[in-house]
Amino acid sequence: MDTERLSGKIAVITGSNSGIGAATARRFLAEGATVVAADRDPSRNPLVLARTDRVMGIACDVSEPQAIENLGVQLAEHFGRVDILVNNAGITGAIGRVHEYALEDYEKVMNTNVRGPFLTMRATIPLMLAAGGGSIVNVSSIGAVTFTPGSSPYSPSKAALLMMSKQAAIEYVKDGIRVNAVCPGLVETPILGGATDTLDLLANAVPMGRLGTPEEVAALIAYLASDEAGFTTGSATFIDGGHTAI
């Protein structure tokens, strides 16, 4: 990495143990940020285990309001400010059509994918206001605008997150807080499973003929989080190999 455009920034990343979250944490660290790795069990995070000076692990299950409240308290005590928030934690949920879907499973998806990002923004925005501004990047999905086979609440949850991003972008535009969404397509992460036949089948559905990588999504997130994207807010950027162009 030949740039440190995030130097001196305090960045909170949820769901940072693997996949896009882990790649984003590595990218942010390489670009000079101090990374707060928020996950249900940050002790499993390789960056936290490495005991790097600019990485702090905080246990946080975003589906639990008390855990997010505790996150906000720890951020205030340790740093007194937050410059960047990446709402990456999310789940696909159980498989089933609407009439087959258990309410408990539905609430689990919504609590993680919608309520969680709302509460993390509510906990960190006051710290951004105190710092004079900040950047929030919410990881939505192409599921926000396309059908997701088998998981009734997933696409609606990601659509809600997309609109939540736009809402917050306008509400805080005069406060120096930018809010943007990224909408990844099929990216090779643990959420897809590791079976070669399955991954090949999914890749064939992408116009580029391959799956995206977590690092490619992390690069986009790093740009949106940085001051280089200073005129960008309320955007939804699709990174999907042409999937939504079909």
| pLDDT digits 0-9 by tens, 41-66 | 998 998 998 888 999 999 999 999 99
114 within domain boundaries: yes
pLDDT at 73 (0 to 100): 98
117 within domain boundaries: yes
5 within domain boundaries: no
The dihedral through the CA atoms of 238, 141, 40, 43 has a sign that is negative
Provide the token pair at 110: 């919504």
Phi, psi of 206 (to 5 degrees): -100, 130
How far is it, in rounded angstroms, from Cα 20 to Cα 15? 8
**In the predicted model, what is the mean pLDDT of residues 19-46?**
96
pLDDT at residue 2 greater than cutoff 60: no
36 within domain boundaries: yes
Domain holding 19: CATH number? 3.40.50.720
Quote the number of domains for the chain.
1
pLDDT at residue 3 greater than cutoff 90: no
2 within domain boundaries: no
4 within domain boundaries: no
41 within domain boundaries: yes
106 is catalytic: no
Residue 189, domain extent: 10-239
Express each pLDDT in 128-185 by its tens digit: 999 999 999 999 999 999 988 778 899 999 999 999 999 999 999 999 999 999 999 9
pLDDT at 104 (0 to 100): 96
How far is it, in rounded angstroms, from Cα 79 to Cα 153? 36
- C-beta of residue 15 within 8 angstroms of C-beta of residue 89: yes
| Residue of 191 and 38 predicted with greater confidence | 38
pLDDT at residue 1 greater than cutoff 60: no
pLDDT band for position 199 (50/70/90)? confident
61 within domain boundaries: yes
- The active-site residue out of 101, 154, 172, 223 is 154
